[in-house]
């Protein structure tokens, strides 16, 4: 899945307290974010072959900015 096809309009990331990383992706619509999360859950995180460094179940959040509420 290509970034443009996912609807991602921006990206930033940073390490927090190990073993966590915060990845901030911008989408025009919440539905685009939900669709991308579904892709990660079903195609990437579902297999140790596609996510060999994944330890345990990922914890995710879709957040709206004040402008979107």
> 30-63: per-residue pLDDT in tens?
999 999 999 999 998 898 888 887 878 888 888 8
pLDDT recorded at residue 42: 92
DSSP string over 1-69: --HHHHTEEEEEEEE-STT-EEEEEEESSHHHHHHHHHHIIIIITT-TTT-TT--S---------GGG-
* Those residues with Cβ within 8 angstroms of residue 48's Cβ, 6 or more apart along the chain or in another chain: 54
**Total Cβ atoms within 10 A of residue 65:** 7
Token pair, residue 46, equals 């579902």
Dump pLDDT digits (tens) for 3-25: 555 666 665 655 556 666 777 88
**The pLDDT of residue 65 is above 80:** no
């Amino acid at each position: 899945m290509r970034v443009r096809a996912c609807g991602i309009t921006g990206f930033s990331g940073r390490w927090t307290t190990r073993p966590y990383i915060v990845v901030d992706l911008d989408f025009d619509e919440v539905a685009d974010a939900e669709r991308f999360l579904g892709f990660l859950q079903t195609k990437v995180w579902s297999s140790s072959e596609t996510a060999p460094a994944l330890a345990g179940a990922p914890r995710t959040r879709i957040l709206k900015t004040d402008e979107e509420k």
